[in-house]
Amino acid sequence: AQSVTQPDIHITVSEGASLELRCNYSYGATPYLFWYVQSPGQGLQLLLKYFSGDTLVQGIKGFEAEFKRSQSSFNLRKPSVHWSDAAEYFCAVGFYNTDKLIFGTGTRLQVFP
Amino acid sequence: EPEVTQTPSHQVTQMGQEVILRCVPISNHLYFYWYRQILGQKVEFLVSFYNNEISEKSEIFDDQFSVERPDGSNFTLKIRSTKLEDSAMYFCASSFRGETYNEQFFGPGTRLTVL
């Protein structure tokens, strides 16, 4: 079945540690790929997106993500996490022939000082 | 920086009542969307709207739901007769162009609680 999977529901890291949030998709064609972040009481903010070209994309707040076609993955990374990064992170996919974004279930990131 | 706003932030209603959720999209955007997130579940697409008509809708968006752009700034989602299972966070979004490679800007959401 077509799906977007974020296997980690909750991740806890120490401030300054590196971070990787996983996202896998299951679709026949390569979708457009997105990572959104949601802080408490806030809307969904776009961190970065991939449409084509360079498979390593840079986003805001020091985040990057790498598209790996062979693994159908689009993992989000940050080399050094800050306490303000604590939030919920959503991977999403889109396609050229549709308006809708399809979201994963989200990963809640907790950061310890 | 322009942003999408939504009112109210929290709405409590009785089952069977009508509710209207309001959104003010970014002013020069042309495409408007509603998504919802039931507690503990993923964000789900409901409907997209362009040029005063629905351009796409999901199977969730049944006859109980309707959308409208009543004036030049507001975009509303109406639920005619709410059910318990309509309890969710409802997000409005807007984009300048259609197709998903154009960034959709999301509002902070309205939490709907149906009692």
User: A19: burial class by Cβ within 10 Å (0-12, 13-18, 19+)?
Assistant: middle
DSSP conformation class of B103: P
- Show me where the domains of chain A are located: 3-112
CATH topology (fold) of A3-112? Immunoglobulin-like (2.60.40)
Distance from the A23 Cα atom to the nearest Cα atom in chain B, whole angstroms: 14
Under 8 Å between Cβ of B109 and B7: no
What distance in Å separates residue B100's CA from the closest CA in chain A? 5
A36-95, pLDDT tens digit by residue?
Answer: 999 887 788 999 999 888 999 999 999 999 999 999 999 999 999 999 999 999 999 988
**Cβ contact (<8 Å) for A103 and B99?**
no
How many domains in chain B? 1
Yes or no, beta carbons of B101 and A96 under 8 Å apart:
yes
Question: Which residues span the domain enclosing B23?
Answer: 5-114
3-state secondary structure B15-75: CCCCEEEEEECCCCCCEEEEEEECCCCCEEEEEEEECCEEEEECCCCCCCEEEECCCCCCE
Task: From first to last of the 115 residues of chain B, give the pLDDT tens digit.
Answer: 789 999 999 999 999 999 999 999 999 899 999 999 998 888 999 999 999 999 999 999 999 999 999 887 899 999 999 999 999 999 999 998 866 677 899 999 999 999 9
Q: What is the pLDDT of residue B99?
A: 67
Burial of B72 (0-12, 13-18, 19+ CB in 10 A): exposed
pLDDT in tens, A8-52: 999 999 999 999 999 999 887 778 999 999 988 778 899 999 988
**Gap between the Cα atoms of A113 and A35, Å rounded:** 25
Q: Is A44 on the interface with B (CB under 8 A)?
A: yes
